[in-house]
Structure 1
């Protein structure tokens, strides 16, 4: 597993935490530590293309790679003897968490600031390009070379954004089939995605228990923002009420 992965081995119940797009497990480390203190084993893998010095590496992989990364995390835990596993994710990580819950055997799932319902309100592209420029200049690319190369980057990014949207669209018909409990956390001041779609996502889950939490004033990355402690307590409460396989 990648060096950026963290694995806090503690209790017999395990939780997978999946990070956001163009980010890494540090996004979910505080939550991981909070869960570890409550006797949960926590695994946070690194998505393919992430965790390198060059953000363009993110654009060289596919959504299928990330789905596979989550499956591998699940398999890793099962091979370690964990039977009771819940899977959560931040933003893109939440999309992959729910895809995993639809396809694989897990106890429950959760999303934090995740675009599970398509919306025209989305600043991910703009923010990624801003981040890309900053990081490329850091590694020695000149501004003029960057500007010249920008159309290529934009094409790759648009293709990947379309792929993520495509995955969400294929998942939507399955939302009503989900029977496992779902946790939803969303901040009111999300600067990247349309926060109102969290309500639509909850409404789409017609055949399961939904634990919905709205964090007033919280940004997109609620796992490290001002509501991170409240979020951790809410996740712990959600996990404590689950019917784990082991009883």
Structure 2
């Protein structure tokens, strides 16, 4: 058992690390609070100093996953010119895809748990008010639109469309990689196509809307 003198943040991190391993091994429904405290080598009462319940622990794991992804993206984006909004959008998209691919099993275990209200706890996945990852995209889209770098008539809608396009592409890449049918070159090709799609969308979305089915 870990010494009681360990700093509080270190003990909280130990609980989260232990829970993440259990989620990967057993799924969210497959482990108990006692499993977590045993794996973290802390007393069961210690758990409740940091989390009220297993559900709160899982929410903290989801928040940590998103916060880590956002932190890595921010560090990379700081290396780009502050006003290079197209470049920042491309980098955000690429880092999002590669970030999910690198941690696909944990992401799926945390956010695609059967019978768990993951979405209701965090809002719609593309809602910047509830999703810090989507909020980073919204900031890029809004600032790029205001500067004239993006030709978008509805930046808020663009965030929803681009965020879900990124997620759909990530799901495709993850599934293909699990079947062993996806090479590194193929992954890079799919990502490159997505980045070109983003460029075309942000440059041409002021074009005339599609005609209705009956308009000839």
Give the TM bin, normalised by the shorter chain: 0.3 to 0.5
Which structure's residues are more often helix, by fraction? 2
Which structure's residues are more often strand, by fraction? 1
Q: How does the TM-score come out when normalised to structure 2? A: 0.32
Pick the structure with greater CA Rg: 2
Q: How does the TM-score come out when normalised to structure 1? A: 0.29
